[in-house]
Amino acid sequence: MAERVGVIGAGYVGLTSAACFTHLDHQVICVDNDQSKVDALDRGEITIAEPGLAELVHDGLSCRRLRFSTAPETLSDVDFVLLCLPTPKGDGGNADVRILEEVVATLPGLLKTGCVVVTKSTVPVGTGARLPELLGTPDLPVVSNPEFLREGHAVEDFLNPDRIVLGSTEENRRAAERVAALYGETDAPVWFTDPASAELAKYASNAFLALKVSYVNILAELCEHYDADIREVGRLMGLDPRIGPAFLSPGPGWGGSCLPKDTAALLRTAEHAGVDFGILRDAMKANARQQAAVTRKIRRAVTGTSDGSLKGVRIGLLGLAFKAGTGDLRDSPALAIARELARGGAILTAYDPGVDSAGTDLVQVVDDPYLVAKDATALVVLTEWPEFRELDWDRLAAAAERAIVVDARNLLDPAAVARAGFAHTGLGTTPNR
Ligand code: UGA
């Protein structure tokens, strides 16, 4: 059944939810307090690079099922309102819910009785239990419906979720069922639970992914000491269905706008409760060490020692984003490594298919992968864009001053780059002696 849905916040989660619910035949009004953003969206201009998102927004605008506004009053006749507001990292790693709380306090004056308030933002455990108090009325049932969208796959993940989680009190169970119905027919498990479990499941999932990647990054280091190959070890671990093959690739560390923030917030939540979740602290420390380890590896490949000087050394970076499929530089380990290399005196050029070319103090971003090799002493793969595998390595070798490649994503075929004359170093694939 087509419903009237309001979305507050036209960021990554809000816009994806608005566009996808429009696609699922609902009538959606998306409210954001940024006038220029709303104007741009009204014109169909979308700055978030998510495959399929622009098409869904355009379709929604042209069939008039999707509207954007800065006026909260436009929410007066919606049956559901989705809170898609930022919860940035606040003091001491806690998620900062001030924006969300301010908006929630205004809702009783805006919404009609019975409108379901749906929390999509990642909020600290216990927020769902506090919202009714903030709303000050039992007439607006609250349901927690955390999102599990990966950047670069947000539309795909929204329309083909692997689970739909709905947290509510027993009294609001009917409201939770109505939220579930918004998603239409789905093969995914639709899970009704209490608000705290829904909220915790979100943090627990992201922090577990962070743990998994830190685990494999440390294993990769160990492989180098025992002549083992992390690609083999990961493959063999992944054959156990209890472990699964995903998130077992070593890299420069986990980054982005979610894993670092949510892992730190879960640690804080545990500390508040007096629960020792030191394994999360270890994973965070290991993640910082991983960036330093990759930087040392690059130094060693270029200078022969892990503390050799990089002064005036030209290094070409393939990738800057925190992962492939996005141009997002937030908390990107690649950027942190670039910063370290620049601090050591290296002259950096970078190419990333998701990042616009521009010059910064740190690194010259170019729009052609072959330009990064020009007079370079070394090339470093920092983001796992599949197209880097298809590069013409003979051409790169011809442009470079020295043929050295450090593959911090184990993306390349070592034999192919070796054929072009490159000295190749991966992570956990070559002995560290
Ligand atoms: C993450 C979660 O995967 C989503 O389920 C969640 O909805 C989202 O956060 C969110 O909370 O909004 P995302 O931030 O897009 O999604 O990033 P991931 O795909 O999880 O990657 C995280 C980091 O781990 C990246 O830096 C990536 O390069 C790294 N990674 C991942 C590895 O180094 N190795 C791997 O094998 C996998």
Tell me the mean pLDDT in the region 19-23: 98
Residues 92-101: what's their mean pLDDT? Answer: 88
pLDDT (tens digit per residue) in 122-143: 999 999 999 999 999 999 999 9
Hunting for tokens 């156990």 — which residue is that? 240
pLDDT at residue 361, as a whole number: 76
pLDDT at 354: 93
Global pTM value: 0.95
Which of 30, 115, 223, 258 is catalytic? The answer is 258
pLDDT at 431: 66
Q: How far apart are CA 395 and CA 368, in angstroms?
A: 13
Cα 209 to ligand 1 centre (Å): 7
SS (H, E, C) 275-301: CCCHHHHHHHHHHHHHHHHHHHHHHHH
Query: pLDDT of 339-370, one tens digit each?
Result: 999 999 999 999 999 998 776 778 999 999 99
b/e per residue 364-386 (b: at least 16 CB within 10 A): bbbeebebbbeebbbbbbbbbbe
Q: What is the mean pLDDT of the chain?
A: 95
Please list the alpha-helical segments (H only) found in 24-153.
Answer: 35-42, 53-62, 98-106, 127-135
C-alpha distance from residue 299 to each of 86, 210, 335, 425 (Å): 38, 26, 16, 12
| Nearest alpha carbon to residue 180 among 87, 270, 118 | 118
Averaged pLDDT for residues 133-160: 96
**Binding site residues for substrate, as ranges?**
148-151, 202, 247-251, 255, 323
**Calpha distance 213→88 (Å, rounded):** 23
Q: Are 89 and 265 a contacting pair, CB within 8 Å?
A: yes
Question: Residue 308 pLDDT > 90, yes or no?
Answer: no
**Is the C-beta atom of 341 inside 6 A of ligand 1?**
no
Residue 329 CA, ligand 1 centroid: distance in Å? 13
pLDDT in tens, 263-287: 999 999 999 999 999 999 999 999 9
Statement: residue 408 has pLDDT above 60: yes
By the 8 A CB rule, do 411 and 319 touch? no
Percent with pLDDT over 90 in the chain: 93
How large is the ipTM? Answer: 0.97
63 classed as catalytic = no
432 — pLDDT class (breaks 50, 70, 90): low
Residue 10: its H or E element: none
Helix (H, G, I), strand (E, B) or coil at 253: coil
- The residue type found at 278 is G
Place of tokens 């978030």: 48
- Inform me whether the pLDDT recorded for 177 exceeds 80: yes
Domains of the chain: 4-193 (3.40.50.720), 203-284 (1.10.1040.10)
The answer to whether residues 98 and 121 touch, using CB atoms and an 8 Å cutoff, is no
Q: Tell whether the model's pLDDT for residue 430 goes beyond 80.
A: no
For ligand 1, the distance from its centroid to the CA atom of residue 175, given in whole angstroms, is: 31
pLDDT band, residue 47 (cuts 50/70/90):
confident
